[in-house]
A and B are shown apart, each in its own frame.
Chain A
């Protein structure tokens, strides 16, 4: 009889927890998913924003929120959501990340993600789509780009306030610069990219800033200070 009471009490607790979850985060998540599926992206965003504020928001929220922002044409916000996510890699999330890069004109970054996805083994439909994206980027870069393309990405990156977006544009500038027959604003790109990564506490800043600190140039002192703040 005692066991029965304990079991009923446990059942009640679980039912309560289940009911709460069902009535808040899970319900909003499911509503968001249904809205997305029906193409009602504004409604999906409203639901997913509620989920994002919940203490029990799923770790892979970017899987839901990133594509919704992408579908709404809010590419910068989508990119920030994708890049800030710490969830385990997921092929579909990465596919939408790559599409977001592409829509922002960050074609080299998009190509890199699509190419990586293809090595991870997508289904035939996604693989075919990724191949078409890659072919389109390769067509655009069939001949060496003009230096002005690098200038444009660099300027766009420096004009953005969010260090994540800054880093994305500067990475693109760096990748395009590597396609040029000659160096073009390499030092400026590396310094700016190092600073953007340092602002994010991203250790990718280290290999960029260390040579600058060692060279003893005009940015050496600042580079040293930024390196000191980086996590080991």
Chain B
């Protein structure tokens, strides 16, 4: 009887170890199911630029913290945004200049060739 008790103890210990791994799996499964994300809108890529996360990954390889990589990515994005804004401002300035030139040209033309109605009113 005592012999059987010892055998049960051994089996119990081995079983406990397996249960430990099962615990981790069950806990993780519970956490995974609770932390699923919801879909964000689909944005199809339209430019042939390198993937956004390549920089973060290479930074990880270099031993830079993910936050630093994310900051770099944000800085890149801000720079890109800044460039886009600068381009927009340039375009707006060019458009304004063109409009100014057109106005000036129209004024010159009006001065050179006065409108008939204006002549009649005078």
Q: Which residues of B in the span 32-69 have a Cβ within 8 Å of any Cβ on A?
A: 32-33, 35-51, 53-54, 56-57, 60, 66
Evaluate contact between A96 and B51: CB separation under 8 angstroms: no
Q: Which of B16, B42, B56 contacts A107 (CB 8 A)?
A: B42
Q: Which of A36, A63, A74 contacts B56 (CB 8 A)?
A: A74
9-residue interface stretch from A26-34, A187-195, A212-220, A223-231: A26-34
**Chain A window 113-142, contacts with chain B (Cβ cutoff 8 Å), 1 for yes, 0 for no:** 000000000010110010011001101110
Instruction: Provide the main secondary structure of the chain A interface.
Output: helix
Evaluate contact between A126 and B54: CB separation under 8 angstroms: no
How many B residues face the partner with a CB closer than 8 A?
46
State whether A123 and B3 are in contact (beta carbons under 8 Å apart), knowing that A74-B66, A137-B42, A139-B42 are contacts in the complex. no
9-residue interface stretch from B7-15, B75-83, B84-92: B7-15
In the complex, A36→B48 CA distance in Å?
35
Evaluate contact between A96 and B39: CB separation under 8 angstroms: no
Does A211 have its Cβ within 8 Å of any Cβ on chain B?
no
Q: Report chain A residues within 8 Å CB of B3.
A: 3-4, 7
State whether A155 and B13 are in contact (beta carbons under 8 Å apart), knowing that A132-B39, A160-B54 are contacts in the complex. no
Evaluate contact between B13 and A149: CB separation under 8 angstroms: no
Distance from A133 Cβ to chain B, minimum over Cβ atoms (Å)? 5
In the complex, A37→B24 CA distance in Å?
11
Distance from B77 Cβ to chain A, minimum over Cβ atoms (Å)? 14
In the complex, A196→B45 CA distance in Å?
22
In the complex, A160→B52 CA distance in Å?
11
Evaluate contact between A140 and B42: CB separation under 8 angstroms: yes
Does A202 have its Cβ within 8 Å of any Cβ on chain B?
no
Distance from B35 Cβ to chain A, minimum over Cβ atoms (Å)? 7
Instruction: Provide the main secondary structure of the chain B interface.
Output: helix
Does A43 have its Cβ within 8 Å of any Cβ on chain B?
no
Evaluate contact between A132 and B38: CB separation under 8 angstroms: yes
Evaluate contact between B37 and A99: CB separation under 8 angstroms: yes
Q: Which residue of A lies closest to B6 (CB)?
A: A7
Evaluate contact between B57 and A18: CB separation under 8 angstroms: no
Evaluate contact between A152 and B24: CB separation under 8 angstroms: no
State whether A30 and B20 are in contact (beta carbons under 8 Å apart), knowing that A96-B32, A149-B44 are contacts in the complex. yes
Does B109 have its Cβ within 8 Å of any Cβ on chain A?
no
Distance from B10 Cβ to chain A, minimum over Cβ atoms (Å)? 5
Q: Report chain A residues within 8 Å CB of B47.
A: 148, 152
Most buried by A among B29, B42, B49: B42
Q: Report chain A residues within 8 Å CB of B23.
A: 30
In the complex, A34→B48 CA distance in Å?
41
Distance from A157 Cβ to chain B, minimum over Cβ atoms (Å)? 9
Does A207 have its Cβ within 8 Å of any Cβ on chain B?
no
Q: Which residue of A lies closest to B70 (CB)?
A: A73
Distance from B104 Cβ to chain A, minimum over Cβ atoms (Å)? 41
What would 6 A/B residue contacts be, using CB atoms closer than 8 Å?
A3-B3, A107-B44, A126-B33, A136-B39, A151-B48, A156-B49
Chain B interfacial positions (CB closer than 8 Å to A): 2-3, 6-7, 9-10, 13-14, 16-17, 20-21, 23-25, 27-33, 35-51, 53-54, 56-57, 60, 66, 70
Q: A4-B3, A140-B41 given. 6 additional CB < 8 A pairs? A: A11-B6, A18-B14, A36-B31, A148-B48, A151-B48, A169-B51
